[in-house]
Amino acid sequence: MIERSQRSRLLIAALLPKRGWYLSGEEPGGICSQLASLIQQEKWSDVDIEVMEHLPDFNLDGLRAWLNEEGVPDYSVNRLMLCLDHHSSGRYEEATFLGVPLLDELAFHLYGGKSFTTKRGKTRSQSKPELAIATSNGPELEGFCANFVQTFGSLQEDTDPTRLGDEDYWNRHAIVHGLMQRAMGLKDSAKCLMAFKFLLCARKEDVRT
């Protein structure tokens, strides 16, 4: 049973980021086996639905206070609050276009200057997000979360010109530089929220917010 559970966690950690999803480890325990089963059956629409059943419900006052304690500047916190407000109000395009750049902004402050979506040193040899690279002064990641950043997901990969109109495609460069050939919707905004929660929970020494 333990081996099966471990295989499920590794499977979803390897494949969910390719679709733009990140889990924080605070979701209900059964989600890993459920998602692994859906992935094995290639029921990708059902995978999206299952993940979106577990979107974070942030305590905004507590989140703001914790981020301030962690040294995240007010301008970044205010942008995060605006992004969350856009999402909750159904303004998904605004939330996505604000949220995707915010992922690196938050990572910079929470992970010792490391980024979440860009390539470390902009070298072709880099194969995983910078915050997953061990450094002497950077925080370690929780084991569950670390599995999600062992390779690039669709967010970090080079832009695929053939997928710019694909409703499931989520790529930082394409979104930030106005290359996407469709409107941003609920799923795009939801991916931002899941990635925010991932960043808040991935540091090994963190107290959960």
pLDDT tens digits along 78-123: 999 999 999 999 999 999 999 999 999 999 999 999 999 875 455 5
| % pLDDT > 70, the chain | 92
Which two tokens mark 136?
């002497």
DSSP H helix total and E strand total for the chain = 9, 0
Q: DSSP state, 158? A: P
Distance CA 132, CA 143 (A): 11
Distance CA 67, CA 209 (A): 9
Residue with tokens 């061990």: 134
Distance CA 84, CA 197 (A): 12
| % pLDDT > 90, the chain | 79
Query: CA torsion sign, 98 to 106 to 67 to 192?
Result: positive
Mean pLDDT of the region 180-203: 97
Query: CA torsion sign, 143 to 145 to 148 to 152?
Result: negative
SS3 203: strand
Cβ neighbours of residue 201 closer than 8 Å, sequence gap 6 or more = 24, 25, 26, 142, 145, 208
**If you average pLDDT over every residue of the chain, what do you get?**
91
Which two tokens mark 122?
């902009």
Distance CA 101, CA 11 (A): 27
Quick count: other Cβ atoms within 10 Å of Cβ 165? Answer: 9
Mean pLDDT of the region 159-184: 96
